[in-house]
Every structure is written in C-alpha cells, then in structure tokens.
Amino acid sequence: MDLVPTMVVEIHVPLSPSQNVPDGAYPYPWIEEVEDFLADLEDQGDVEVFDDGEEDADAYIFFVTGAGEEDLLAVASRVATLPGVPAGTFAVISDDDAEEFGLGRRVTLPLSTA
C-alpha cells in the first residue's frame, strides 16, 4: 500500500540564549513559549504539532503539520516574531518520510507581507 508522505514544516530557531536571564535560570525560555503557542494552535484545531521539539546542532527545531503549506508557513512566521525568539529563524518544508532535518525547501522567516 503506497502512502503519500505527510507534509511537515520544520521551524529552525537558532539556539541562542535569551538576554538578561537571571543567573541559574534556563537560558532558552523562548522554547517553552513557542511550545505553548503551538499547543494553543493545536487545541484550536489550526495545526498539529508533529513531534516534540528537538535540539539539532546549533538550532532547536519545532515540527508542525495538519494544514496546507501556506497555513503552516504562516504559523512558522508567527513563531519567528514571538517575543524573545532569536533572529535567524527559518522554516524547512519537508515530510514525515525525511531521514534527517533540513532536507526540504528552506523558507526565510518571517514571511514578507508584500
């Protein structure tokens, strides 16, 4: 039985510590904020969180699916503009058959609204 791969948008956020974090505090508070944001969208039925976020090299990657490419990229763009999210965030359009991260088409975030 041939199954069509499911589109997944990877949201790659540079693993940069937040500024002005108190000594001993977690240096990446934006990870939890992005997870909460995505969970809220999932609860509303807008997207599905495909998998838990994952650290890979110098980035933290979030995964969303369950909508069309335009909608998933809009979500990725909103993530890139959340307070505290490091600059340089980008998306990769991939699918659930990808053997590793970052193999699809790369999209610079946030999207321009032109």
* Number of structural domains the chain divides into: 1
Quick one: pLDDT at residue 1? Answer: 47
Closest alpha carbon to 47 in 79, 72, 80, 69: 72
pLDDT of res. 113:
66
Q: Which CATH number is 60's domain given?
A: 3.30.70.260
Q: Concatenate the DSSP letters of all residues of 50-88 into one string.
A: EEEEEEETTEEEEEEESS-HHHHHHHHHHHHTSTTPPTT
pTM of the model: 0.91
User: Which residue range(s) make up the domain with 13?
Assistant: 7-108
Residue 11 included in any domain: yes
Residue 73 lies in a domain: yes
Asked, for residue 72, whether it belongs to a domain, the answer is yes
**pLDDT for the residue 2:** 53
Show the low-confidence residues of the chain (pLDDT under 50).
1
* Environment class of 87 (CB within 10 Å of its CB; exposed 0-12, middle 13-18, buried 19+): exposed
In a domain, residue 42? The reply is: yes
